[in-house]
Every structure is written in C-alpha cells, then in structure tokens.
Structure 1
C-alpha cells in the first residue's frame, strides 16, 4: 500500500489529518503513531516521508517514481532514518547516533525525517536523550514515533507530539489488504475473521501449521456427522497431536467456532457472511441434519471450552468434554 487513496480506506481519520497538514503546509515536528500491530503505522510513516520529500507530488500523492520515493521504498534515503530496537530495546547510543546524523547538513536538502519503531521500548536513557532532541525542533525535521503502547512513553515526550490514534482494522478491510498481498479470497476471509492484524494474518497464511489446522477442523466435522462413535478417537489421535498446547488449542477452537457460525448463517440466509467459502456445499449439507439450535448450542459449548482453558483445565480433557457435548 503506497497511496493516500488506499490508506484512507484503512485509517480514514489519521489519513485526513495528515493529508490536511501536508496540503496546508502545517506539518508538525513530531508525531506519535499509536495503535495495535498491523494497523499500518510504518506504512503511513513511510508514505508521509515520501510526500515530505517528493518534488513531483500531485496534491498530496507522491509520484512514487522519483529518486526520493524509490530510495525511501528501498530504505536507502540519506535523510530518512529508521530506528528499530536492538534486541529487546532501543538504546541511548542509537539516539546519540541519530542526533549526530542530524547535526550534519542534509545531503540533498535541509529536510530530515526520523522514524522510531517500537518507541515504547526505549531505555530510560534513550527516552531522555530523545526528549532533549524533541525540545529543540528544527522546522524541516519531522519525527514519527511508532508504538503499540503510547502510555508507556514519557508524558513529556507525548506532550511534544501530535498524537495519531490508529484504529483496529475491520474484517472487510483486512480481507481486502490480504488479497492485495496475494492471499487467496478463501484464506483471506478466514484469516480476517480470526484477527484484524495484517502481519499476524500473513504469518498465519505462510504457516503450514495453520493450513493443517484448517483441514483438521473439517475432518472433525466429518467424523462428528458421519462416524460419531469415532470422534473421541479422532480427537486423541489426530486433533490433540496438532493442537498440542493451550494457545494452539485455543486457535483450533476459534476455527471450530467459525465453522458453526457459518452453519448458523446458512440457516438464517446470510450466505454472504460465511467465511469457510470453500466448504459451502458441506455447510449446506450439514444444515439438513444439524439445526440452528444445535449450531448455537455448539457455539456455547465452544465458548465454555475456551473458558476452561483459561482456568487451566487440562487441554485434552477440555476437548474430550466438548466433543461429547456436541455429540449429544
């Protein structure tokens, strides 16, 4: 995603505020981008840097083809500096190096941009050095601090930044973004129902574990419908071999929950809401033998199972009890 026209669909409020500041030439010297992982903070900051440097932009849209735009995309622009944690934290030495870089005249202009990822991971010394940097702003210098936890930053740093709150992405936008990233529509719809975090969704899509988890959910449904007497055997021999710990089983239960939600959607005529779109025929067939009350009861049982996991009930016991409840 590299256009403001795209970003406005994902983060409309932040996009409007930033583009207005560019149009009116009222760019702040420091911004705090806060929001959960995968909501577009880094993309937004790099796009902003392009609009800041691009000499051929049309309105607010950077041209994307000039040397400034291309070098920002490649991470090689001499006057755009991105700081990331070294290990678990951003250290004082990294901020000192940044300050030293900014004492030099810009190589091609006096404009400079620095982006601090995971700004809440600055050590106390690094945060204090950055504060000193923010207290002496240069009109042609723009700072963008990116964080999932803005409250973890010093109040004195927050007060010197214009705060931009990034909202969680809705399922429709996540689906669109994933499709743009090359994810199939069927996988995109399923992933967007599980998470509104683009990065997490893309990681799950690349993971063979998730692909196998999806298959096991369908296989469990088949066993429950066609060979219910073998369901517990399937759970112990195949299901638990894959969903080995609480986190994994919790994700398996989320997938199972989505399947029964799809069954409810089939019963009430909301086919457009179904996320297991490659299993439409199976869901339709299931609706002939499993009623809407059955599906809603199954969802209740799954929710109870997730609560038991939180209460440290043994995962295998949780899954066995759930299987017996659905069989009744």
Structure 2
C-alpha cells in the first residue's frame, strides 16, 4: 500500500476521511482504527506516518523515496514509535518508556507520531497513562490506536479519538488473489475465512505450522467424539504445545469455529458453504450424526466465549479444558 489511491481500493471510506484531513492540514491528534485482522490497519498507520513526515509529499501521498519515508518503511524513524503487546497485554512500563521518549524534542522534525497496536490489550494502568497524551496532546503529536474491537477499548480513550471503522474485504475477491498466487482453491477458501491479509495468507499456506494446526484441529474433534478418555492427554501433549502464542491460540479456536460451522451447514443443507470439510466427506457425515443442531449452536457460542476469555488473559490451558468439557457435555 504505497498511495492513498491504493488504500481506497481496500478501505474507501477510511482513506477519504484521512486524505481530506491531510489536504486540509487538519490531521487529528488521535485516530482509533477498528477492523478485523487483515483489513489494513498497520498499512494505513504506516501510510499516514509517511504522509506526516514525507519531505517531498505530493498532495496527500508520500513520495516513498525520501529519507523519512524509507526510515518509516524500515521501522527505524526516531520520531515514529510503535507500541505492541508485551505477551498478552500492553503494560504500564511500555507507556512510561514512551513518555520518556516524548520528553525530548523530535530528532528529525518537530513532530511525534506513535502507534498503539492491540489497543484493547492496554492494562488499566497503561490506559490511564496513555490518556495523558490524549487529554493534553502536543501541538505536533499524532496518535494512531489499532484494535480489532473498539468496544474493548476504554470509553475515555475512544471519546478522545476519531474512530474509523475498516470494512472486511470481500472474500471471493480475496480468494481470487490467493489463487493467482498459486494457492489451490480449497486452501484459498480456508485462508480467506481466517484473514484478509494477502502476505499473511501466503505465509500461512507455506508454513508447516499451519498445516499441522489444521490437522490437530481435526484430531481434537475426533477425540472428543470417539476417544474422550484421551482428551486431556491430547490437549496437554499435542494442542497446547503447538498453539503457544496468543495469536496461535486464537487461530486454533478460529479453525474450530469453521469446522463446527461446517457440521451445522451440513445439517441444514448448505453443503456449498463448507470450508474445512468437503461435500460427501465420511468424517463430516459421522459428525452430523453425533452433534444435534441445538448442540452445534451451543458449541459455537462456547467457542466465541473462549476467544473472549483469551483476550481477557485467562490461562489458555484452563480455557481449552473448560471448552472441551463443554463440547462433550
């Protein structure tokens, strides 16, 4: 994403709002970009930073070749700061470090620019500290908060930001992009259900970890239905060691959601919408016999609740143990 015209193809409304601000010289002191994974939050933040610091900007578009643009692209601009979750959350100490950085004047300009990734993971203390920036913004300071769920960001932060919603990409168009990059269609359909980020999808398609994740997801469902006595052993020896990071744990739950949706779709005759399984798959037919429609709806709600618990930093092992017991019950 090198220009705002390119950004507008993916996120037309967000691009229009931001470019209007740039052209009028009224860039907001704080933006809150809300959108699912892969909707372009990081790319828009980078493009905005370049537009702010570019030495040869043409209209709203950065030149991409000046010293400032190149340093922002490489992540090495001294006046552009990125804060990301340290483990499961963004901690007070990270914001304190940012505050110290802001005590010094800009090294290459009079401006400061910072991005908070995963703004919903700010601890209470960290959120209170970041409010100081938002309540008393520096004249040349721009903040960009990125989140998958703005409702999980405390209201005092939301109220001080210009909230911009990023729309999900059209899945069929994205699938065609993946096929053009050499990914077979069934895998493209699965990837498009998990992410809208082209680079991320291609990387997953080439990563043995992802293939093994899909395999373990199928194994977990089979053990729940056929060998429940082996469930906890499988969880602690196969599932949890494979899904170590929070993003991986969430992806494991996303795969389970897709699988149980397939079973439900087969129940109600929507075989054309299958993602994990294929039409006529014997495993799928057995699972349709095992789970009732009522039970499948309950499982899907339990899976969404498990995802919420992970975001609230509940122990992943406890989340999975409770979830599998609920699926069995």
Give TM-score, length-normalised by structure 1. 0.66
Higher gyration radius (CA): 1
Residues 175 and 188 of structure 1 are in contact (CA less than 8 Å); yes or no, is this contact kept in structure 2? no
Name stretches of at least 5 consecutive residues in structure 2 with no aligned partner: 216-224, 227-237, 240-251, 303-322
Partner residue, 1:106: 106
Residues 258 and 275 of structure 2 are in contact (CA less than 8 Å); yes or no, is this contact kept in structure 1? no
Counting only pairs closer than 5 Å after superposition, residues 108-187 of structure 1 correspond to structure 2 as 108-175=108-175, 178=178, 182=181, 184=183, 186=185
Partner residue, 1:90: 90
Task: Please state whether the residue corresponding to 2:160 is helix, strand or coil.
Answer: coil
For residues 89-126 of structure 1, the C-alpha deviation after alignment (integer angstroms, 9 at most, x for no partner) is 21222112212211211112101100011112112111
Q: Distance in 2 between matches of 1:275 and 1:36?
A: 19
Q: Distance in 2 between matches of 1:101 and 1:86?
A: 18
Residues 56 and 63 of structure 2 are in contact (CA less than 8 Å); yes or no, is this contact kept in structure 1? yes
Q: Distance in 2 between matches of 1:257 and 1:73?
A: 44
Counting only pairs closer than 5 Å after superposition, residues 48-63 of structure 1 correspond to structure 2 as 48-63=48-63
Name stretches of at least 5 consecutive residues in structure 1 with no aligned partner: 216-234, 237-243, 266-272, 287-296, 318-328
Partner residue, 1:15: 15
1:37/1:108 Cα in 2 relative to 1: closer, same or farther (>3 Å)? same
1:52/1:254 Cα in 2 relative to 1: closer, same or farther (>3 Å)? same
RMSD of the alignment, in Å?
Answer: 4.5
Q: Distance in 1 between matches of 2:92 and 2:116?
A: 13
For residues 132-183 of structure 1, the C-alpha deviation after alignment (integer angstroms, 9 at most, x for no partner) is 1211112221000111221222322211111111122221343366468x55
Counting only pairs closer than 5 Å after superposition, residues 1-328 of structure 1 correspond to structure 2 as 1-175=1-175, 178=178, 182=181, 184=183, 186=185, 189-191=188-190, 193-198=192-197, 201-202=201-202, 204-208=204-208, 251-252=258-259, 304=293, 306-307=296-297
Deviation at 1:28, TM superposition (A): 0.5
Q: Distance in 2 between matches of 1:213 and 1:122?
A: 29
For residues 195-248 of structure 1, the C-alpha deviation after alignment (integer angstroms, 9 at most, x for no partner) is 354387456423447658999xxxxxxxxxxxxxxxxxxx98xxxxxxx98966
Task: Please state whether the residue corresponding to 2:82 is helix, strand or coil.
Answer: strand
